[in-house]
Amino acid sequence: MLSAVVLLSYSGCGRSSHYIQKPTGQQPKKKKKKKPKPVKVPEVVLKQKKGDRIVEPEIPVQLDSNGNAIFEIEKTIDFETCYVVLKHLPDRNRSALQIKSYKTLEENSYPSFFAYATVDDQLLATLAGETVSCKIYFQLQPDGPIWSTRNSNPVKIQVISVKPQFKARLLPTALTATGHGRTTQVSGKITAALLEDQ
């Protein structure tokens, strides 16, 4: 009877496994944990769903802080800088539109151009979609002739957009070289950086 009681005391209450020692030299086998597979995240999300619509992601516009212009004057001439400014004329209720290849005269280099027009608009944004008649001047070399439009035949500049950048098209027109009387045709495209009214 005593042996039966002792046996029951070790096996009772489900605690017998805590007191039984494993044989020496046998270690419990550890289960190997599976490494989670890396999740591939695309660098650029091409499209994202918004409700039932598929919306293209918004891509920040990279603006050229100096602008540029390309004109055809007997050959293709690339201007690496181009600026536009609308100056309010205090003596009358009009503004002066200037499109030029330099910020200031001190920074002027060649080839160089300057376009000028007087407009009724007080804000540059209101010029979008308009065609403006301008007087324009070109000097391709420091010692070269100055090409310009005649007062009777100004150049037409179509303003395509103003924001986020000023874009315009110069329609074909005739230029005359000062001191030479020679004429040629000019046309081109303008992407101008906006300058503050100085």
pLDDT digits (tens, 9 = 90+) for 38-86: 444 344 333 444 444 444 444 343 445 789 999 999 899 999 999 999 9
Counted residue by residue, the chain has a size of: 198
Lowest mean pLDDT among 34-48, 103-117, 174-188: 34-48
Question: Residues 112, 182: contact at Cβ < 8 Å?
Answer: no
Domain presence at residue 51: no
Residue 46 lies in a domain: no
Q: Is position 133 within any domain? A: yes
Least confident of 20-34, 44-58, 163-177: 44-58
Residue 112 CB contacts under 8 Å (≥ 6 apart), including other chains? 100, 101, 102, 138, 139, 140
Instruction: Tell me if 2 is assigned to some domain.
Output: no
Q: How many domains does the chain have?
A: 1
Residue 19: inside a domain:
no
Predicted local confidence at residue 62, as pLDDT: 44
User: What is the pLDDT at residue 32?
Assistant: 59
pLDDT of residue 34: 58
pLDDT of amino acid 70: 95
Tokens of 150: 């005649």
**Domain span holding position 91:** 68-194
Which position has the token pair 């081109």?
188
- What is the percent of the chain with per-residue pLDDT over 70, rounded to a whole number? 67
pTM greater than the 0.75 cutoff: no
Of 47-56, 108-117, 181-190, the poorest mean pLDDT is in 47-56
pLDDT digits (tens, 9 = 90+) for 133-157: 999 999 999 999 999 999 899 999 9
Classify residue 9 by burial, with Cβ atoms within 10 Å: 0-12, 13-18, 19+: exposed
Give dist(CA 126, CA 189) in Å, integer: 20
79-92: buried (b, 16+ CB within 10 Å) or exposed (e) per residue? bebbbbbbeeeeee
More confident residue, 120 or 121: 120
90 belongs to a structural domain: yes
pLDDT at 37: 53
**Any residues with CB less than 8 A from the CB of 190 and at least 6 apart, and which?**
67, 69, 82, 84, 99, 157, 166, 167, 168, 169, 170
Q: Is the pLDDT of residue 15 over 60?
A: no
Q: Are the C-beta atoms of residues 131 and 64 closer than 8 Å to each other?
A: no
Mean pLDDT of 94-108: 93
Does residue 41 lie in a domain region? no
Please compute the mean of the pLDDT values over residues 162-182 and round it to a whole number.
Answer: 91
- Percent of the chain whose pLDDT exceeds 90: 52
Instruction: Assess if residue 97 is contained within a domain.
Output: yes
